[in-house]
Structure 1
Amino acid sequence: MEQVSLKEAIELTGLREQERSGPLYKHLASVLKKLIQQDVLPAGSALPPERELAEMLDIGRVTVRSAYKILADQRLIETRHGSGRYIAERPARISQPLWKLTSFSQAILARGKQPEAKTLDIKIDYPSADEAQILQIERSAQIVRLHRLRLVDQMPLALEWAVVPRHYLGDELDNIRSLYKAFMAQGYEPVRAQQRFQAVALDTKNARLLKTPPNAPALLIERVSYLATGEVVELTRTMYRGDAYDFVAELSIGEHHDR
């Protein structure tokens, strides 16, 4: 964006009128954040250096520096050493229908994007009492715990914690890219699932992995998947970035309803 255009965009937000209600640097950060969210400042574009923006807006350089720090803390901008500050890349929003059972990889590939899974932890363990009840197995039965970071076009989108009865997976646990493909390779095909949704705020650790600010909104989904026999094949909890993933439900009126 040209600097004159940026100046006009900032001033159109009424930056000056807001000065009396709080520190100017906070209002400047809020204005810049809004311009980023509206793609007036698109991902990858450069921000003016502190001195230039300060002179452009006739404000103090410290004010600009403080505003930039807020945006950096919120992971909205990034510093490239020797190059300056840039608008951080953001994942494109992904929509997934709720009426169809698909894996993460299938849903992403269907949209022409590239899914990726980074294993953060994997181990053979034994289920808790609650897990054993959900999975319909004994406490003495072995399970596989799998913790992964899910990415789309190299951008982090979700964190996944999966608990799977050991006998549904092969021996090559370290090479799992898609759980559903791993199930199919062993002759098991999930045919239905139940999901629970919960709005949550990301703690510091998970926010860092997903490259979002701490306390950013996320959607936690618990999925229990079943085979045609009724056996439970997986219990998965997935935490999706709230700014990048949409779930779409199609509703219809039943046969008996009040008009």
Structure 2
Amino acid sequence: MIAPDDVLKSLRARDFENTGHGPLYRRLQTALKAIIDDGLLKVDDALPSERDLATELGISRVTVRNAVRALVDDGVLVQRHGAGTFVAPRVEQALSRLTSFTEDMTTRGMNPGAVWLEKSVGYATPEEAMALNLSPGTEVARFRRLRTANDKPMALEFAVVPKQFIPVPEEVDKSLYDALAKYGKKPERALQRLRAELFDYETARALGVPEGSAALYIERRSFLANGTPVEFTRSHYRGDSYDFIAEMQVDAR
């Protein structure tokens, strides 16, 4: 655990008051976020008190409070009544294993949840037909939902499955993979494509983050053991709360 004096020393070294643009609280917010991103402040480390930050940095408590509140709203910090302000947990997912969101959160001792935005049946778009190797006009089931962990919005997910694999979309409850398993169609492998994006207004609003903040866009195609495509999912994850980890080895050749 880092000492409060080291946090203050790092903030002074960054000279945030004379660096960047915008209101002072935004510059302090950026400096605090950088300390966390650099690993100086780690998950569950406590932030110095508002009074100490204001006094030692020579700024107002209102400035400190606004910066801290903005980071709490972004999910970077969490405030615990009577205890203080701490660095919020981040979810890490290994890229080498195919797991559902529900399995990921449960494994980490978090309570997975979903706010359903759409369960419908329609005809595959050209993009969906190509991704799922379907003929034009094939019916598909569509699922759009807001994924949460401990009631905190984490991702906006849009999944498409051939209707023959889930004939009644309304039967899907918490886990799409559990529903597929009931029909003997749970995927066994997948291909994922990740890229960095910035949240647009609508997606940012749904996840409760500022427009233009960092997002991880993930596109996944999942397959049965015989190679049949079973799922095409496009998701936007909060960049401030989700990490993906890949283990790599040196090629022996």
Smaller-chain TM-score bracket: 0.7 to 0.9
**Paired position in structure 1 for 2:211:** 214
**Paired position in structure 1 for 2:11:** 13
CA gap of 1:109–1:53, structure 2 versus 1, over 3 A, is closer
Q: Distance in 1 between matches of 2:196 and 2:34?
A: 23
The count of aligned residue pairs is: 238
**Paired position in structure 2 for 1:158:** 155
Matched, 1:235 2:228: no
Q: Contact between 1:15 and 1:27, CA under 8 Å: does it hold in 2?
A: no
Query: Where in structure 2 are the equivalents of 1:1-259 lying within 5 Å?
Result: 13-14=11-12, 19=17, 24-30=24-30, 38=41, 42=46, 65=62, 68-69=65-66, 72=69, 75-76=73-74, 90=88, 92-171=89-168, 173=170, 175-255=172-252, 257=253
CA gap of 1:7–1:134, structure 2 versus 1, over 3 A, is closer
Q: Contact between 2:28 and 2:67, CA under 8 Å: does it hold in 1?
A: no
Give the % identical residues: 33
CA gap of 1:148–1:16, structure 2 versus 1, over 3 A, is closer
In structure 1, the residue corresponding to 2:180 is in which secondary structure? helix
Larger radius of gyration: 1
Q: Contact between 1:35 and 1:41, CA under 8 Å: does it hold in 2?
A: no
Q: Distance in 2 between matches of 1:24 and 1:233?
A: 50
Q: Distance in 2 between matches of 1:247 and 1:9?
A: 27
* TM-score normalised by the chain length of structure 1: 0.73
CA gap of 1:177–1:253, structure 2 versus 1, over 3 A, is same
**Paired position in structure 1 for 2:78:** none
Return 5+ residue gaps in structure 1 as ranges: 78-82
Q: Distance in 2 between matches of 1:238 and 1:203?
A: 13
Write the deviation string for residues 181-219 of structure 1: whole angstroms up to 9, x where unpaired: 111111213111111111111112212222222222121
Following superposition, the deviation at residue 163 of structure 1 comes to 0.8
CA gap of 1:131–1:88, structure 2 versus 1, over 3 A, is farther
CA gap of 1:108–1:150, structure 2 versus 1, over 3 A, is same
Write the deviation string for residues 162-181 of structure 1: whole angstroms up to 9, x where unpaired: 01111111425254311111
CA gap of 1:24–1:222, structure 2 versus 1, over 3 A, is closer
CA gap of 1:73–1:219, structure 2 versus 1, over 3 A, is same
In structure 1, the residue corresponding to 2:108 is in which secondary structure? coil
Following superposition, the deviation at residue 241 of structure 1 comes to 1.4
Q: Which amino acid in the other structure matches residue 195 of structure 2?
A: Q
In structure 2, the residue corresponding to 1:124 is in which secondary structure? strand
Q: Contact between 1:217 and 1:242, CA under 8 Å: does it hold in 2?
A: yes
* TM-score normalised by the chain length of structure 2: 0.74
Q: Contact between 2:220 and 2:232, CA under 8 Å: does it hold in 1?
A: yes
Q: Contact between 1:159 and 1:240, CA under 8 Å: does it hold in 2?
A: yes
Q: Distance in 1 between matches of 2:6 and 2:104?
A: 41
Q: Pairwise CA RMSD of aligned residues?
A: 3.7
In structure 2, the residue corresponding to 1:215 is in which secondary structure? coil
CA gap of 1:68–1:129, structure 2 versus 1, over 3 A, is same
In structure 2, the residue corresponding to 1:143 is in which secondary structure? strand
